[in-house]
């Protein structure tokens, strides 16, 4: 049952965490995430700004219930358990998510079973090709953790920094994703 969010004018606002896998400053991915964040406020984390080691596949986390790697991702992994909603954003690289996002996904293996029934939102930005594959990777993350995907995800078409403002359908879809996070948060709060 959700308990961390807060009420605003009779609406339950889930406690949200936004995670960007884009290495660019002021990226189009960040612009879409920020559009969702304008509807549902929450902390924004930019993965490429952090020193993150890849998963070692040591499986120690399955007995310790936490990753053995101590790096700048460690406190973020702990925060994932505390939020109601997690919105992931990535540029599309080679028909998939960025390497920073993939490293993040792999390291969450230590949280198996602890993200269950949290709400997941996905945002990707690319030139056109590969967006579906990148969204599928993010949706697979949610399903692997038994999270509740808010919708099929938001796909923006952009390349140069600032191009996102030209993709009105994606901007509208990002706002709709925020509204869906609120809707699902309210449903889960009243269970």
14-45: pLDDT as tens digits? 999 999 999 999 999 999 999 999 999 999 99
Q: Are the C-beta atoms of residues 171 and 132 closer than 8 Å to each other? A: no
The confidence score (pLDDT) of residue 88 equals 98
Instruction: Transcribe 71-119 into DSSP letters.
Output: STTHHHHHHHHH-SEEEEEEE-BTTB--HHHHHHHHHGGGGTTSSTT-E
The pTM of the full predicted model, rounded to 2 decimals, is 0.93
* pLDDT at position 8: 53
Alpha carbon 57 to its chain's center: 23
Strands 42-46, 85-91: parallel, antiparallel or unpaired by DSSP? unpaired
pLDDT value at position 129? 86
At residue 4, the pLDDT reads: 58
Q: How far is CA 186 from CA 8, 11, 17, 80, 134, in A?
A: 12, 7, 17, 19, 28
The distance of Cα 113 from the centroid of its chain, to the nearest Å, equals 17
Q: Which parts of the chain have pLDDT scores under 50?
A: 1-3
Element (H, E) at 135: helix 131-144
Distance CA 97, CA 105 (A): 10
Domains of the chain and any CATH numbers: 18-186 (3.40.50.360)
Q: Is 149 helix (H, G, I), strand (E, B) or coil?
A: strand
Q: What's the confidence (pLDDT) of residue 137?
A: 97
């Amino acid at each position: 049952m959700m308990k961390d969010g807060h009420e605003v004018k009779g609406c339950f606002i889930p406690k949200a965490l936004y995670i960007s896998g884009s290495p660019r400053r002021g990226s189009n991915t960040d612009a879409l995430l920020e559009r969702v964040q304008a509807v549902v406020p929450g902390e924004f984390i930019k993965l490429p700004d952090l020193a993150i080691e890849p998963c070692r596949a040591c499986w120690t986390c399955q007995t310790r219930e936490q990753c053995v790697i101590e790096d700048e991702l460690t406190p973020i992994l702990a925060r994932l358990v505390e939020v109601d909603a997690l919105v992931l954003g990535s540029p599309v690289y080679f028909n998939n998510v960025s390497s920073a996002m993939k490293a993040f996904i792999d390291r969450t293996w230590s949280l198996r079973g602890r993200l269950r029934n949290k709400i997941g939102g996905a945002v990707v930005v690319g030139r056109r090709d590969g967006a579906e594959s990148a969204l599928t990777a993010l949706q697979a993350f949610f399903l692997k953790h038994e999270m509740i995907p808010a919708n099929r995800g938001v796909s923006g078409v952009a390349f140069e920094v600032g191009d996102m403002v030209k993709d009105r359908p994606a901007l509208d879809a990002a706002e709709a994703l925020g509204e869906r996070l609120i809707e699902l948060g309210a449903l889960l709060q009243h269970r």
